[in-house]
Amino acid sequence: MTFGSFIRTARERRLADDSRFSLRQVAQRIDVEPAYLSKVERDEVAPPSEATIVRLARELGEDADLLLAMAGKISSDLAEIIRKRPRLFAQLIRELKTMPDHAILRLVREVRDGDW
C-alpha cells in the first residue's frame, strides 16, 4: 500500500463515524491546503515533510514512525541516535533484520517490576 492510499483509507475510515475527518477539515487541522492533501492522498506529489507527517499521524491516530517509514523517511530523533553511533546501530539493525518480532521485543528494556 502506498503512503497516499494508506492515509486516505485511514481518514475515510474515521470519516464514516465523524464528519470532522473530511479532507478539508483534516487539512485545516494539520495546516496544509486541502488541494495539497488531496494530491498527497492520490500519490500525485511526494509525501509531505516530517513535521506534517507527524501532525497527520496524530490527527488520524496512526503511528508516526509507521507513516514516516511508508514515506521513505526516518524521524529526526532516530536519525540523531544513529548519527551518534553509526557503526553500532548499522550493525545492530542488519543483525536484527530477519529476527521475528517477539525476539526483538525481548531486547527492548522492560520496566522492572519489583517487590511492592
Q: Please report, as ranges, the residues that interact with another protein according to CB under 8 A.
A: 17-18, 20, 61, 101-102, 105, 108-116
Q: How far is the CB of 20 from another protein (least distance, A)?
A: 7
Closest CA to 56 of 44, 41, 76: 41
C-alpha distances in Å from residue 24, one per residue of 7, 19, 20 = 14, 10, 9
Closest CA to 57 of 43, 75, 34, 35: 75
Considering the complex, state which of residue 77 and residue 95 has its C-beta at the smaller distance from another protein.
77
Considering the complex, state which of residue 18 and residue 31 has its C-beta at the smaller distance from another protein.
18
Q: How far is the CB of 85 from another protein (least distance, A)?
A: 19
